[in-house]
């Protein structure tokens, strides 16, 4: 809950057109930035965040540090965001420092977050002197090294980090291209959690909130919550095992879905405590009928075998046509879903229990569990899509179908 | 009664009276606002400023990334600064010290933007002795905050160490509230 003013420096150079991060480097970066803005403003209401672009026609400050999350998100999606040009890290950092110097609340600590996606043309010496200046003015620096794997780039950035680092308040994260979204990987790093403090509930959805205790909750401070978390964790494990067994017995057409579900289970199990903490907190909350419906709808909107998105869409539309309640719930869940993608992933596991799901479905008016299209949907519950962008696409497609 | 009178300097400041009436302004420092840029976190500015810490020659404030230090000291009330005492080791003690009065939140980038209110060059002996150096009194008549910029040190090395920083002067308010007595009925 540190009071902080942050300047985020984003890379909008030509190298960001590359698609090695889905859907493109630039988009992945934008998602990550949105998440960071949200996390920072949530962890302390007086925190301010500003954004500047490092490439394009030149270093340009999009917003000076502000508490207004809407303005920040609008900036990232605005029309002024052209991709092109070359990264100019030195001026960018100096301008960020200047922007922070003129912040309104002088009590805030200063932090700069740099997304370095393209090769760095400056030499180590220059970066070190920049780092030294930042250290002198007690500005912390977080570096996200992704995209271009230049020889010497990680060393240069590490040198910059050691020059700036004061008591571990600055961090560097290297993210190689891979199936995981940039933002998902970032959530687990200190860039998000801010020196490992844990932060608010939003940030606690990331695993780093764990710390010393099993569930990121001190049993001394809140024994009931810790107990509830432990119980639901065990229930969850049992449910997942049962679901895994069931998934293994499914028809051959679901084979791909099985692979994905088990892969997902592995990754989510490997995910540390925070994921289960999020699930558990969901379970611990009183689950009213409305909540159950909503979560049902969220699960339906998220889960599909990756290859079957076309089938998926028709399923969705059929469901929509059939059931007005379900459709309304789906709409609401879409809005929720866009905000909290990581939370969705976790909630899906709660609904893996087929018995539970079918009982919920039976309670929905107008939905007959024996109906073939509903059965297809149920079967598809065991296949999961991993990419949050895919989810968004599907939700958008469903929205279009809706219209 | 007489002691409060001397402490608050109501008398016209003759040369001898100035020496007598100067107080150590450590009691008037607003600790919540004290800042020091480029200090080593293990050796912080409190070691040089606070009563007790500054007397201990083992405790000092050290610079971190390079030899410069920028200390910002706000006061609880408006004061007049008369003299400054800085004590440090012979090699790493400060040499050139610039003072800026009433400039808030300066950074290393703008120390050169305006002239200092006063500049003091310490020699090796007087930094070791830590004797007070008289400042340009006329420039420090109405001081709310003072910024100390330590530009370099005696040996020219990378680390500057300061054992004690103390200001002497007088407060501007002439009424010492604690000294006021209630008018009692005869």
Q: Using a CB-CB distance cutoff of 8 angstroms, which residues of chain A are in contact with residue B111?
A: none
Minimal-distance CA residue of chain B relative to A168: B41
pLDDT value of position B98: 94
291-330 in A: which are within 8 Å (CB) of B? none
Nearest-by-CA chain B residue for A137: B37
Please name the residues in contact with B108: beta carbons below 8 A apart, sequence gap of 6 or more: A133, A136, A137, B37, B38, B68, B70
Q: Flag whether residue A102 sits within 8 Å of chain B, measured between CB atoms.
A: no
CA distance A302 to A280: 20
Pairing relation of β-strands A48-53 and A60-66?
A: antiparallel
- Rounded to a whole number, what is the distance in Å from the CA of A207 to chain B's nearest CA? 30
Q: Are A132 and B37 a contacting pair at CB < 8 A?
A: no
Residue window 223-282, chain A: list those with CB within 8 Å of chain B: none
Q: What residues in A contact B38, CB-CB < 8 Å?
A: 135-136, 138
Residue A240: per-residue pLDDT: 86
The CA–CA distances, whole Å, from A79 to A62, A76, A140, B31 equal: 11, 9, 30, 47
Residues of A in contact with B107 (CB under 8 A): 101, 137
- Taking the CA of residue B70 and the nearest CA in chain A, the distance in Å comes to 9
3-state secondary structure chain B: CHHHHHHHCCCCCCHHHHHHHCEEHHHHECHHHCEEECECCCCCCHHHHCCCCCCCCCCCEEECCCCCEEEEEEEEEEEEEEEEEEECCCCCCEEEEEEEECCCCCCHHHCCCCCCCEEEECCHHHHHHCCCEECCHHHHCCEEEEEEEEEEECCCCCCCEECEEEEEEEECCCCCHHHCCCCCCC
Distances (CA, A) of B5 to A231, B11, B171, B183: 73, 8, 12, 18
Residues of B in contact with A195 (CB under 8 A): none
Q: How far is A131 from chain B (nearest CA, A)?
A: 10
CB A238 within 8 A of CB A276: no
Gap between the Cα atoms of A10 and A25, Å rounded: 11
Alpha carbon of A101: minimum distance to chain B alpha carbons (Å)? 8
Hey, are the CB atoms on A136 and B105 less than 8 Å from each other?
no
Query: Chain B residue closest to A102 (CA)?
Result: B105
Distance from CA of A111 to the nearest CA of B (A): 15
* CA gap B38, B59 in Å, rounded: 17
Backbone angles phi and psi of B181, in degrees to 5: -110, 145
Best B68, B105, B107, B150 member to test A by mutation, with max A CBs in 10 Å, is: B107
Distance (Å, whole) CA A394 – CA A320:
14
Q: Measured between CB atoms, does A17 come within 8 Å of chain B?
A: no
Give the span between the Cα atoms of A267 and A248, in whole angstroms: 18
Task: Count CB atoms within 10 A of the CB of residue B93.
Answer: 25
Residue A135 forms contact with B (CB below 8 Å): yes
Q: Are strands A139-145 and A109-116 parallel, antiparallel or unpaired?
A: parallel
In this complex, do B64 and A133 lie within 8 Å of one another by their Cβ atoms?
Answer: no
Q: Do B37 and A136 touch (CB under 8 A)?
A: yes
Residue B91: how many CA atoms within 13 Å on its side-chain side? Answer: 3
Cross-chain CB nearest to B105 (options A106, A133, A136): A106
Q: How far is B130 from chain A (nearest CA, A)?
A: 26
Beta carbons of B66 and A136 less than 8 Å apart:
yes
Nearest alpha-carbon partner for B58 in B47, B66, B72, B46: B47
Selected for mutation to probe chain B from A132, A133, A136 (highest B CB count within 10 Å) is A136
How confident is chain B (186 residues) per 10-residue block, as mean pLDDT? 42 42 86 88 85 84 88 91 90 91 87 90 89 90 92 89 90 64 65
Q: Is the pTM of this model over 0.80?
A: no
Task: Indicate which of B35, B45, B65, B69 best probes the interface with A, i.e. most A CBs within 10 Å of its own CB.
Answer: B65
Residues 6+ apart with CB under 8 A from A402: A320, A327, A331
Interface test with A, best of B74, B105, B109 (most A CBs within 10 A): B109
Distance in angstroms between the alpha carbons of the first and the last residue of chain B: 20
> B108, A133: Cβ pair inside 8 Å?
yes
Residues of B at the A interface (Cβ-Cβ below 8 Å)? 37-38, 41, 64-66, 68, 104-105, 107-109
Q: What ipTM goes with this model?
A: 0.74
Give the closest of A106, A132, A166 to B41, CB-based: A166
Q: Tell me, what's the pLDDT at A372?
A: 65
* First-to-final CA distance of chain A: 43
Per-residue pLDDT of chain A (403 residues; tens, 9 = 90+): 789 999 999 999 998 888 888 788 888 899 899 999 999 998 899 999 999 999 988 899 999 999 999 999 998 887 667 888 899 999 999 999 999 988 888 888 999 999 998 999 899 999 999 999 999 888 999 999 988 888 889 999 999 999 998 888 899 998 888 877 888 888 888 777 664 443 344 444 434 344 445 565 556 667 777 788 888 888 888 888 888 888 777 655 555 444 444 444 444 444 444 444 444 444 444 445 566 677 676 767 766 444 444 444 444 444 445 556 665 666 666 665 544 444 444 455 555 566 666 677 667 766 565 666 666 766 666 554 444 444 445 555 555 555 4
Q: Which residue does chain B place closest to A128, by CA atoms?
A: B65
- Torsion angle, alpha carbons of B138, B142, B143, B149, to 10: -30
- Residues of B within 8 A of A135 (CB-CB) are 38, 64-65
Residue A213 has a CB neighbour count (10 Å cut-off) of 15
> What's the CA gap between B36 and A298, in Å, rounded?
52
């Amino acid at each position: 809950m540190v009071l902080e003013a942050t300047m985020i420096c984003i890379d909008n150079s030509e190298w960001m057109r590359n698609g090695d991060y889905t859907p493109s480097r630039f988009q992945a970066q934008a998602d990550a930035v949105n998440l960071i803005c949200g996390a920072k403003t949530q962890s302390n209401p007086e925190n301010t965040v500003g954004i500047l672009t490092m490439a394009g026609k030149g270093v340009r400050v999009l917003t000076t540090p502000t508490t207004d999350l809407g303005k920040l998100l609008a900036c990232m999606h605005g029309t002024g965001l052209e991709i092109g040009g070359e990264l100019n890290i030195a001026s960018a950092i100096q301008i960020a420092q200047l922007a922070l110097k003129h912040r309104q609340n002088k009590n805030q600590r200063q932090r700069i977050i740099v997304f370095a996606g393209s090769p760095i043309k400056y030499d180590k010496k220059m970066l070190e002197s920049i780092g030294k200046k930042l250290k002198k003015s007690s500005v912390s620096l977080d570096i996200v090294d992704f995209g271009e794997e230049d020889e010497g780039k990680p060393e240069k950035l590490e040198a910059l980090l050691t020059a700036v680092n004061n008591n571990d308040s600055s961090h560097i994260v290297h993210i190689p291209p891979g199936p995981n979204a940039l933002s998902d990987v970032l959530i687990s790093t200190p860039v998000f959690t801010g020196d490992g403090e844990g932060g608010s509930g939003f940030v606690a959805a990331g695993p780093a909130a764990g710390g010393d205790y099993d569930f990121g909750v001190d049993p001394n401070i809140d024994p009931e919550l810790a107990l509830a978390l432990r119980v639901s964790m065990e229930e969850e494990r049992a449910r997942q095992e049962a679901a895994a067994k069931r998934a293994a017995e499914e028809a051959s057409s679901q084979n791909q879905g099985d692979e994905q579900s088990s892969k997902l289970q592995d990754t989510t199990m490997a995910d540390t405590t925070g994921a289960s903490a999020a699930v558990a907190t969901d379970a611990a909350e009183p689950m009213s009928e409305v909540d159950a419906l909503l979560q049902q709808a969220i699960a339906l909107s998220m889960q599909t075998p990756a290859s079957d998105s076309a089938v998926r869409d028709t399923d969705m539309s059929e469901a929509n046509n059939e059931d007005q309640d379900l459709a309304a719930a789906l709409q609401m869940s879409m809005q929720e879903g866009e905000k909290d993608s990581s939370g969705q992933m976790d909630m899906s596991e709660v609904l893996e229990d087929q018995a539970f799901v079918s009982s919920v479905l039976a309670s929905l008016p107008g939905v007959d569990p024996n109906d073939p299209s509903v059965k297809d949907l149920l079967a598809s519950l065991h296949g999961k899509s991993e990419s949050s962008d895919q989810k968004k696409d599907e939700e958008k497609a469903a929205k279009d179908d809706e219209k | 009664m007489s002691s409060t009178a001397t402490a608050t300097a109501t008398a016209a400041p003759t040369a001898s009276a100035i020496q007598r009436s100067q107080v150590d302004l450590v009691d008037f420092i607003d600790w919540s606002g004290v800042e020091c840029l480029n200090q080593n976190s293990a050796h912080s500015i409190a070691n040089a400023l606070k009563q007790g810490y500054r007397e201990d020659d083992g405790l000092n404030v050290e610079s971190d990334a390079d030899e410069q230090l920028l200390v910002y000291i706000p006061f609880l009330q408006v004061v007049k600064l008369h003299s400054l005492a800085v004590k440090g080791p012979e090699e790493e003690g400060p040499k050139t010290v610039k003072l800026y009065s009433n400039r808030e939140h300066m950074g290393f980038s703008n120390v050169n933007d305006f002239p200092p209110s006063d500049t003091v060059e310490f020699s090796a002996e007087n930094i070791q002795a830590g004797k007070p150096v008289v400042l340009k009194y006329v420039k420090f008549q109405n001081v709310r905050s003072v910024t100390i910029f330590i530009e370099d040190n005696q040996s020219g090395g990378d680390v500057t160490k300061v054992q004690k920083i103390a200001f002497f002067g007088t407060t501007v308010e002439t009424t010492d509230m604690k000294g006021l007595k209630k008018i009692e009925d005869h």
